[in-house]
Amino acid sequence: MSTEINEFVRSHTFPFQIIHAGSVFWPVFSESPVTSPSQITSHQVQLFNKWYHILLKKGIYFGPSAFEVGFVSSAHDNKTLGESAISMCDALIEVF
């Protein structure tokens, strides 16, 4: 899922990336590498909040903070992950 979203973002040159390690992922509104929450600006938090609320309306639930990570579990099948990735990309278009 993160690969597809990151490819979409690069094709649209949005300042956004999904950082992931295994099943844990962190959506970050930055083109530059982010390795610590202290690197996130208030503007990036505002972008995350807009994205978060758009996704809520689409039925996608994340932690409500730009500083939280998400995770994929065995409860998420390929269909759900694919639909979620499409919704996340659509929401990014609305943000930018």
What are the tens digits of pLDDT across the range 75-84?
889 999 999 9
Beta carbons of 9 and 16 less than 8 angstroms apart: yes
Q: What are the phi and psi torsion angles at 19 (to 5°)?
A: -95, 135
pLDDT for the residue 59: 92
Q: What are the phi and psi torsion angles at 33 (to 5°)?
A: -60, 135
CA angle 50/3/15 to nearest 5° reads 40
β-pair type (70-71, 17-21) = unpaired
- pTM score of the predicted model: 0.90
pLDDT for the residue 86: 95
Q: Does residue 51 register a pLDDT over 90?
A: yes
Other Cβ atoms closer than 10 A to 62: 18
Mind listing the domains of the chain with CATH numbers? 2-95 (3.90.1150.10)
pLDDT for the residue 66: 95
Which amino acid is it at 70?
G
Q: Does residue 60 register a pLDDT over 90?
A: yes
